[in-house]
Amino acid sequence: MKIAVCYKYVPEEEEIRVLDDRTLDFSKAQWKIGQYDLNAVEAGMQLAEAAGGEVVVLTAGDAAVDNSKLKKSILSRGPSMMYGIKDAGMSGADSSATAKVLKAGIEKIGDIQLVLCGEGSGDIYAQQTGVMLGAALGWPCVNAVSSLTLQEGRLIAERSLEHSVEVLEVTLPAVISVTSDINIPRIPPMRDILGAGKKPSACWTLDEAGAAVENGTRTHSILAPEQTDRRRIIFEDDGEQSIHALCEHLRKII
């Protein structure tokens, strides 16, 4: 079975700076593979190792698509080949636009029976790209999958909802979004990190992939929240007087 895992590279959260006008500055932020996508790669590797098959990875983005550090980072986790679709318009692409571009990539790679996605991206976390990709391909799609196995050629998925767990048989080809508790992603050993540099990759333009970026929404702004001014009335000890005074304040609310 040939499995494609989709991933997104996202900025390191701690390195995003908030400027005085509340806009965000990403210029000092390093890129990394979205943390939830690592669960999808691991799930793909475990399926392929158990049932036989090949895992490839696919991303769509702007300039950093073929960044060699990111490429090594994703390939060191086991996949045999990396595919990328690169276009400046992909920065800020919404989930519908991204899903359509990924669809073109999946079709161009060819012969894919299973697509795995993380539950949401590490930056925006809209949890939509996987399900929208299923809809774009016209394949069955299942989100919130917390366990995935192949049993006698049948794909069995446990879908973890708020109040129940569904055990589902899913017809292939299909798109599955996995939860962050489906597995603990492996930490690649040095041998695999070194080997990752030698693995093949392909980077396509939108034209080559036969895709276009068509957003269904427009982002007006991304701004840090205004800080609420808190009163900061602090009692420096837990003596009777302090507690009494605190209670007086609380009584006005409770």
Cβ distance 58 to 114 under 8 Å?
no
Q: Binding mask 147-186 vs other proteins (x if CB under 8 A, - otherwise)?
A: ---------x--xxxxxxxxxxxxx--x------------
Closest to other proteins by CB, 191 vs 218, is 218
State the chain's maximal CA–CA distance in angstroms: 74
CB of 53 to other proteins, least distance (A): 20
- As a whole number of angstroms, the distance between CA 12 and CA 87 comes to 21
Q: Which residues from 20-59 bind other proteins, rule CB under 8 A?
A: 22, 24
Nearby residues of 253 by Cβ (< 8 Å), 6 or more positions away: none
CB of 128 to other proteins, least distance (A): 5
- Is residue 212 a contact point for other proteins (CB under 8 A)? no
Q: What is the token pair recorded at 46? A: 């475990």
- Is residue 144 a contact point for other proteins (CB under 8 A)? yes
CB of 73 to other proteins, least distance (A): 20
CB of 99 to other proteins, least distance (A): 8
Closest to other proteins by CB, 196 vs 213, is 213
Torsion of CA 228, 232, 233, 238, to 10 degrees: 120
Identify which range of 67-75, 83-91, 109-117, 235-243 contacts other proteins by CB under 8 A. 235-243
- Is residue 62 a contact point for other proteins (CB under 8 A)? no
How far is CA 248 from its chain centroid?
48
Q: Binding mask 105-134 vs other proteins (x if CB under 8 A, - otherwise)?
A: ------------------xxxxxx--xx-x
- Is residue 140 a contact point for other proteins (CB under 8 A)? yes
Q: Which residues from 87-106 bind other proteins, rule CB under 8 A?
A: 94-97
Question: In the block, which residue shows the tokens 């609420």?
Answer: 228
- As a whole number of angstroms, the distance between CA 114 and CA 20 comes to 46
The two beta strands, 154-160 and 141-151, are: antiparallel
How far is CA 78 from its chain centroid?
17
Identify the CA nearest to 36 among candidates 188, 145, 194: 145
Among residues 1, 101, 136, 213, which is the contact residue for other proteins, using CB under 8 A? 136
